[in-house]
Every structure is written in C-alpha cells, then in structure tokens.
C-alpha cells in the first residue's frame, strides 16, 4: 500500500533551507521512479521533483535550481534538499513511488511552511 514515510518538514523563513527525508521499502524503490510531490491548501497535488531508478532527475520549473532530489540506495532513502525557499513553497510534501502514486496511495506527508 504505502511504502514511504516522510520527515524533515518545519517552519522556515523565506530564503532558508530544509532537507526532507523519505524512508522507503526498497522493493518499491527499485521498481519505480520516486518523486516528491506537494499540495498546498485548496490546490491540487503537484510533482516537484523525481528521480528514476537509474538516478536521472527532473524538476518542476518552479523549483529548478533550488531543490535537489537524491537517493541513497544503501539506506533506502530519498531526500529533497530545498534552498532559497519561498512562501509559495508552503505545502505538505509527500514522497511516493510513481507506481504507488498511480494507485492514489499516499502517506501523511510532512508540512513545510515558509514565512515572510
């Protein structure tokens, strides 16, 4: 069902940085691309960064150059390093495999709030 657990969110001032962590099952990790998604109140969930099983990455235009997605195969972890944070980055951030996301299974996410 859900194979990922997110952590690392919090309150940060604009311009600051946060690093989100995602613990995954490993089996799902190896079978599908992984992505970080976010959802702000009243808005639809959006994919902000993804990483394939081979390590190729893609980013939404809104975060490109500011966010970095990475993975640690030995630890079955996926990370999202966020810098130069903006108030519009405020959202609940979710980590998920593409396969699980397609089935609409989501964890609790981690709240990121960027203040002015």
Which pLDDT belongs to residue 15? 98
Q: What's 100's DSSP letter?
A: H
Residues in CB range of 71: below 8 A, 6 or more apart: 29, 34, 51, 55, 77, 78, 79
Give me the average pLDDT of each 10-residue run along the chain (116 residues). Answer: 90 98 76 92 97 94 98 90 98 94 94 97
DSSP for 24-45, written as a single string: E-SHHHHHS-EEEEEE-TTS--
């Amino acid at each position: 069902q859900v194979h990922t657990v997110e952590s690392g969110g919090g309150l940060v001032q604009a311009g600051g940085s946060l690093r989100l962590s995602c613990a995954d099952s490993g089996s799902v990790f190896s079978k599908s691309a992984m992505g970080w998604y976010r959802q702000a109140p009243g808005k639809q969930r959006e994919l902000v960064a993804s990483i394939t099983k081979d390590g190729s990455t893609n980013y939404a235009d809104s975060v490109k150059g500011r966010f970095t997605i990475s993975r640690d195969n030995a630890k079955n972890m996926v990370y999202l390093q966020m810098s130069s944070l903006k108030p519009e980055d405020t959202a609940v951030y979710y980590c998920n495999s593409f396969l699980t996301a397609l089935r609409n299974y989501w964890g609790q996410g981690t709240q990121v709030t960027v203040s002015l």
